[in-house]
Every structure is written in structure tokens, then in C-alpha cells.
Amino acid sequence: MLLALVATFFLGDRVGMFVFAAILGIANGSLVTKLLAKRSETGGDEVSSRSTL
């Protein structure tokens, strides 16, 4: 979970995604995992393939 967040922070929209995920992480951790899953579904193929490396 933390690795996915860090990978999204560096590979995705840096500041916006990090702040957004951090706020949601404080509110509810499961929301963040759902968002990251949805993000990789919609167009984060690069992110998911890079994070597996």
C-alpha cells in the first residue's frame, strides 16, 4: 500500500496525487487503495508496469 502510494507520488501527478492520497489516507486507508486501483484501471498502465519493476 505504501509502496503503491510512493510509486504514484513519483510517477503520477506529483503534488496533487500525493496530497489527495495523503488526505484520504488520513481519513480512510481503504479509500486510497480503491482510488489507486481505479487509477491503474483507467490509464495507469505505465504506473502499474513500472511499479512492478
| pLDDT tens-digit profile, the chain (53 residues) | 677 667 666 666 666 666 776 776 766 656 657 767 776 665 555 555 555 44
Tell me how many domains the chain contains.
1
The whole-model pTM stands at: 0.27
For the chain, how many residues are written?
53
Q: Do residues 48 and 13 touch, judged by C-beta distance below 8 A?
A: no
**Inter-residue contact 36 to 20 (CB < 8 Å):** no
Is residue 52, in this structure, part of any structural domain at all? Answer: no
Is residue 53 in some structural domain?
A: no
Residue 28 belongs to what domain range? Answer: 2-47
Question: Is 28 inside any structural domain?
Answer: yes
